[in-house]
Structures are given as C-alpha cells and as structure tokens.
A = this chain, B = another copy of it.
Amino acid sequence: MARLSGSRQDYLKALYALAPQGEVVPTSRLAAHLSVSAPSVTNMLRRLAEEKLVLHKPRGGARLTARGRREAILMVRRHRILETFLVRVLGLDWAEVHADAEVLEHHISDRVLEAIDRVAGRPDFDPHGHPIPDPRGRMQRRTLLPLASLERGARAVVREIRDADGPRMARWRSAGLVPGASVRMREVQRLDDVFELEVAGERFVTGSEGLDGVLVERRGGAGHGR
C-alpha cells in the first residue's frame, strides 16, 4: 500500500476535523477549511473515493470510510505528538507551533515519530489540551463547552484551546487561559457581548469573539449546576 501523499493526508484530516463522527461534509466546507477551490475538492474526492478512503455521493458530500478515518486519526496523532515535542523538547512557543507541525506531520517516518513521542514523555494531551490518539487510534472523548456558554457564577476548568492565530493564543495565555486553569464567570452581558471572568484570581473582561475556541469542563462549586 503506497504511502498517502501529503495532500491526501490533509484532505482526510480535514474531513475528520469537520465531522469526527463520520457525518457527511459538503464540498464547500472542505474547500473553505483547506483553502482550495471547490473543483479541486471534487477532483480529490473522486480519487480518494477510488482508493476507498472516502464515500463520495456526487452532489451529496463526502464522508470518511473506516480506512479513511483510521488514516485521519493517525494524522491527528502525528500532529499532536509533534506539537507537544516542539513545545516540551525544543522549547518553542505554545502559540506558534501549529504551522511547523502542519508541515512536519507529512514527512516524519514512523521511526522518528516513535522517538519523538518517547522524548516528549509519551504525552496524552498536546500543548493545547487536545487528547492524543494512541497508536491504534483510540482517544479519550470528552464533552466540553465553549467558555462563553457559562452562566453567571459558574465555575469550570479550561481543557482545550483551539488552534487560532498566534496573537490571539498568546493573549489567552497571558490572561491565564491555559489548559488546566480554573475559571469563574463573574458577569455575563449577552446583549453587549461582554464577559467578565476570574482566571487564577485575576479579572479578565472580553467579548465572546475573544473566547471562541476556549473549551471548558464545568465544575461544581458556587455555580448554578443542576
């Protein structure tokens, strides 16, 4: 079985990112996610379908086959191990490793991946808090909420930071919004789109735009939990 090209790997990864449960994804969503034109997507989907990596109903979108899903999850594993390595071993900045991992994930041999995993300490989570699938493709599944969905008084723990632009991620870090941090929603003004948080004892005021991509796990305590 010939190795998948980098391009194919990215298409599969995108399909998985947009539909982790294997739902159908429209051509246009894929095109937007990958920053390519719609015809390019149609074209590649045809090839991936021939190779039994996706199911492609013309005009009905595409979804991963079991094999495609397996390959996608292996790519997620490679990406996340690389990011962890770049941060923990090479000392690069948390907010700036995504682009390098995005390239290297396609060029690292299994041998090097294994060694990198070892020196990174066989991490279970990447620097943004995302779970790393094991070599067989299994991964914890958690249910997390967007930070902005918390009601006034709720307490939660930050679990994942979605990959975003460097400056925004750097801002979150400087505000203390890193995986593992405890937060409390002090005030919510949905009409004005203003949120006042307490993060590690500090006050942090922001709009919801600035919170997109911070995912939390609700904690008991003084919240309104049911």
Contact = CB atoms under 8 A, between A and B. Distances in A.
Interface of A: 86, 89-92, 96, 99-100, 103-104, 106-109, 111-112, 115-116, 118-119
Given A96-B111, A99-B109, 8 more contacts: A89-B119, A90-B116, A91-B118, A100-B111, A100-B112, A103-B109, A104-B112, A107-B107
Contact of A90 (B96, B103, B107, B119): B119
A92 B108 CA distance: 14
A52 B217 CA distance: 57
Contacts of A91: 115, 118-119
B109 A107 contact: no
B90 A115 contact: yes
Nearest to A106: B107
A86 B112 contact: yes
20 contacts: A86-B112, A86-B115, A89-B89, A89-B119, A90-B112, A90-B115, A90-B118, A90-B119, A91-B115, A91-B119, A92-B112, A100-B109, A100-B112, A103-B109, A104-B104, A104-B107, A104-B108, A104-B112, A106-B107, A107-B107
A116 B104 CA distance: 14
Contact of A107 (B92, B103, B118): B103
A104 B108 CA distance: 7
A109 to B, nearest CB: 5
Contacts of A100: 109, 111-112
Contacts of A109: 99-100, 103
Nearest to A90: B115
A89 B103 CA distance: 21
Nearest to A114: B90
Contacts of A90: 112, 115-116, 118-119
Closest 8 CB pairs of A and B: A90-B115, A107-B107, A103-B107, A100-B112, A100-B109, A92-B115, A104-B107, A90-B119
